[in-house]
Structure 1
Amino acid sequence: MLATRVLTAAVALPLTVLAILFLPALGLAAAVGVLMLAAAWEWGALARLDAGGRIGFVLVAGLVMAIALGLRDAGGPASTAAVILGLAALFWVAAVRLVLRFPAEWNATLGRRPLALIVGLVVLVAPVLAVAYVDQADEGPLLVLLLCVMIWGADTGAYAAGRTLGRHKLAPRVSPGKTVEGAIGGLVAAMIVGALGALVLGLDGWRTLGMALLGGWIAAISIVGDLTLSMFKRSAGVKDSGRFFPGHGGVLDRLDSMLAAAPWFVIGLYIVLRAA
């Protein structure tokens, strides 16, 4: 199992970096879209849809992605993408309440299939729009890569701090293995990544501070994404969302942090780069 995990990571990581750096914006958005459609299949399974229902959910998710991207590329309502990204960002903040009050709050909300599917459409489409938006900006590929490195840094920092210092459980009813110390380690690591990314991008002092703070927020909201998927899996009685990545589980298992982080990264970039 360990060898399979290492081999999968050794293949997936360089492919991801190459895709981010060299695919055109629409091509990268399409690649992310394919992953999100695979995630939609898994989301449908976690919502206990049968095979026909999951196919329908995937088709609807693909249609929403295509319409949202098409409206944006055709010069249509720019607010279409903004609304989807905004709704997704708001959901991930609201999900904190679900984590704190699991399972009662979960059973009354996302434990109900119609709401779970509606939320799924929003949060699965949002990363595609986020990548399309960021990648076409100045230094777009580097910014997309920075988002990924923030998430990877947060995961690495959380793992290292949790293994060495972890004592206090973060959300024992949802994910017993996560600790407060691990979460703090992840936040610190992502803030360092954000500051270093700002230096690479040639940003000034205040924007460097802003990028460091954005890294911390990305780490925090990524934890919410991870815990939300854990609630889904506990509710469905499964260990992994799927088997898309050998040794690592499904797409949702690997990209739950990205689902939560991507819309907030767009918002944070706008604040740091435009408003500062």
Structure 2
Amino acid sequence: MLGTRVLTAAVALPLAVLAILFLPAMGLAAVVGMLMLAGAWEWAALSGLAERGRVVFTAVAALVMALALGLRESGGPVSSDVVVLGLAAIFWLGAVQLVIRFPAQWNATLGHRPLALAIGLIVLAAPVVAVAYIDQADQGSVLVLLLCLMIWGADTGAYAAGRTLGRHKLVPRVSPGKTMEGAAGGLLTAMIIGALGALVLGLDGWRTLGMAVLGAWIAAISIVGDLTISMFKRSAGVKDSGRLFPGHGGVLDRLDSMLAAAPWFVVGLHLVLQAA
């Protein structure tokens, strides 16, 4: 199993970096969209839909993504960026309470199928909109890569710190393996990556500090994304959300952090780059 995981990562990571650096903005958004549609199939399954319901939900998710991108490109009065990313960011803040109190509020929130499906349409569209938005900015490819490096670095830092120093459980009712020490290691690693990214982008001292803080926040909210999918899996009684990535599980197993981090990265960029 470990060999399969390593082989999958060895293939997937270079492909991801190449796609980020060399695909045009909408091409990269299309790739992310296809991954999110696979995630929509898994989200529907975790919500308890049968195969026909999963097909319908995935089709509706594709429509929502297309409309969000279309409205953005049309330059119309409705800003799909603000609506989709704003709603997703708000949801992930609320998800903190759900994680802390799990399973107390589950049945009334994400355990309630219509609500879970409605939320899924927004949070699955958000990474697609976020990537299209970021990648069209100045040094957009670098910014998208920085987002991914923050997430990957946080995951790696958390794993290393948790394995060597982990003593205190973070949220044992949701994910018994996660520790406070691991979370701290992930935050520190993402902060360092944020500061290094600011240097590559040529930002000044205060903005470098801001990018470091943004790295810590991305690490923190990515943990919420991870734990939210863990709640879904616990409720559904499954170990993995799918089987798309051998040794790693499904799209939601691998990109759960991206779901939560992408909208907040856009928010954080605005705060940092527009700071006086």
- Alignment TM-score, normalising by the size of structure 1: 0.99
Aligned: 1:192 with 2:221 = no
CA distance in structure 2 between the aligned counterparts of 1:54 and 1:185, rounded to whole angstroms: 37
Residues 61-106 of structure 1: CA deviation (Å, up to 9, x unaligned): 0001111101111212352221110010010110011011110111
5+ residue gaps, structure 1? none
Note the C-alpha offset of 1:217: 0.1
CA distance in structure 1 between the aligned counterparts of 2:102 and 2:125, rounded to whole angstroms: 26
CA distance in structure 1 between the aligned counterparts of 2:116 and 2:196, rounded to whole angstroms: 37
Seq. identity, % = 80
Residues 137-191 of structure 1: CA deviation (Å, up to 9, x unaligned): 0000000000000001100110111011110000000000000000001000000
Partner of 1:90: 90
1:68-79 equivalence runs, <5 A: 68-79=68-79
1:98-113 equivalence runs, <5 A: 98-113=98-113
Partner of 1:240: 240
What SS does the aligned partner of 1:245 have?
coil
What SS does the aligned partner of 1:104 have?
coil
Partner of 1:169: 169
CA distance in structure 2 between the aligned counterparts of 1:269 and 1:87, rounded to whole angstroms: 17
Partner of 2:117: 117
CA distance in structure 1 between the aligned counterparts of 2:71 and 2:254, rounded to whole angstroms: 29
Aligned: 1:179 with 2:175 = no
CA distance in structure 1 between the aligned counterparts of 2:60 and 2:275, rounded to whole angstroms: 36
More displaced stretch, 69-78 vs 164-173: 69-78
What SS does the aligned partner of 2:126 have?
helix
Partner of 2:40: 40
Whether the 8 Å CA contact 2:207–2:275 is kept in 1: the answer is no
Partner of 2:216: 216
Q: CA RMSD in A?
A: 0.7
Partner of 2:258: 258
- Alignment TM-score, normalising by the size of structure 2: 0.99
CA distance in structure 2 between the aligned counterparts of 1:186 and 1:4, rounded to whole angstroms: 24
Counterpart residue type for residue 132 of structure 1: A
1:119-134 equivalence runs, <5 A: 119-134=119-134
Note the C-alpha offset of 1:4: 1.1
Aligned: 1:50 with 2:50 = yes
Counterpart residue type for residue 160 of structure 2: A
5+ residue gaps, structure 2? none
CA distance in structure 2 between the aligned counterparts of 1:78 and 1:214, rounded to whole angstroms: 28
Whether the 8 Å CA contact 2:21–2:142 is kept in 1: the answer is yes
Residues 218-249 of structure 1: CA deviation (Å, up to 9, x unaligned): 00000000000000000000000000101100
Counterpart residue type for residue 144 of structure 2: V
What SS does the aligned partner of 2:274 have?
helix
Note the C-alpha offset of 1:2: 1.4
Counterpart residue type for residue 21 of structure 1: L
Partner of 1:60: 60
What SS does the aligned partner of 1:106 have?
coil
CA distance in structure 1 between the aligned counterparts of 2:41 and 2:80, rounded to whole angstroms: 24
Residues 102-121 of structure 1: CA deviation (Å, up to 9, x unaligned): 10111211101000000000
Partner of 1:148: 148
What SS does the aligned partner of 2:105 have?
helix
CA distance in structure 2 between the aligned counterparts of 1:73 and 1:274, rounded to whole angstroms: 23
CA distance in structure 2 between the aligned counterparts of 1:4 and 1:164, rounded to whole angstroms: 24
CA distance in structure 1 between the aligned counterparts of 2:245 and 2:82, rounded to whole angstroms: 31
Runs of 4+ in 1 over 6 A off after TM superposition: none
Partner of 2:16: 16
What SS does the aligned partner of 1:263 have?
helix
CA distance in structure 2 between the aligned counterparts of 1:177 and 1:109, rounded to whole angstroms: 24
CA distance in structure 2 between the aligned counterparts of 1:267 and 1:78, rounded to whole angstroms: 18
CA distance in structure 1 between the aligned counterparts of 2:5 and 2:54, rounded to whole angstroms: 27
